Amino acid sequence: MTDYFDSLQQYGRDRFEAATAASASLAKEFGSVVEESQNYSKKSFEDAQTYFKKLLTVKTVDEAVKAHTSFLDAARQDFIDHAGKYGDLYFNFARTLLKSGNGAGGKIANEGFVKSKSA
């Protein structure tokens, strides 16, 4: 009977340690996603600001069309680049999430918590 309580207590400790380690890893990965979002938003705002300043100085419609076209091309390429970065960051986030599930909790699930009575 004491073996059962010892294994129950160990199970609780292992789950707590696994949850603590997983939350720290996930917080780090989520922080990198947030940081990238902030960087992209800041850069997009600065690019738009530069574009509007340039629009205020144009003298002809052709210059305005060229400025608009170059802004849209740059914005599209920037979006594509950042979409790739977001994909990598979310992939790392998911990998960390799955890896944390295979820590102590995965070990316990593989070994089995409740022992048979015949053993």
The answer as to whether 68 is a domain residue is: yes
Instruction: List, for residues 45-98, the tens digit of each pLDDT value.
Output: 999 999 999 999 999 999 999 999 999 999 999 999 999 998 888 888 888 877
Full residue range of the structural domain in which residue 30 is found:
2-111
The answer as to whether 118 is a domain residue is: no
The answer as to whether 40 is a domain residue is: yes
The answer as to whether 65 is a domain residue is: yes
Share of the chain above pLDDT 90, in %: 40
The answer as to whether 82 is a domain residue is: yes
The answer as to whether 106 is a domain residue is: yes
The answer as to whether 119 is a domain residue is: no
Question: Mean pLDDT over residues 16-39, rounded?
Answer: 82
Q: What is the DSSP string of 23-54?
A: HHHHHHHHHHHHHHHHHHHHHHHHHHHHHHHH
Q: What is the pLDDT of residue 12?
A: 81
Q: What is the pLDDT of residue 2?
A: 72
The answer as to whether 8 is a domain residue is: yes
Residue closest to 18 by CA, chosen among 103, 108, 106: 103
Domain count along the chain = 1
Q: What is the pLDDT of residue 117?
A: 45
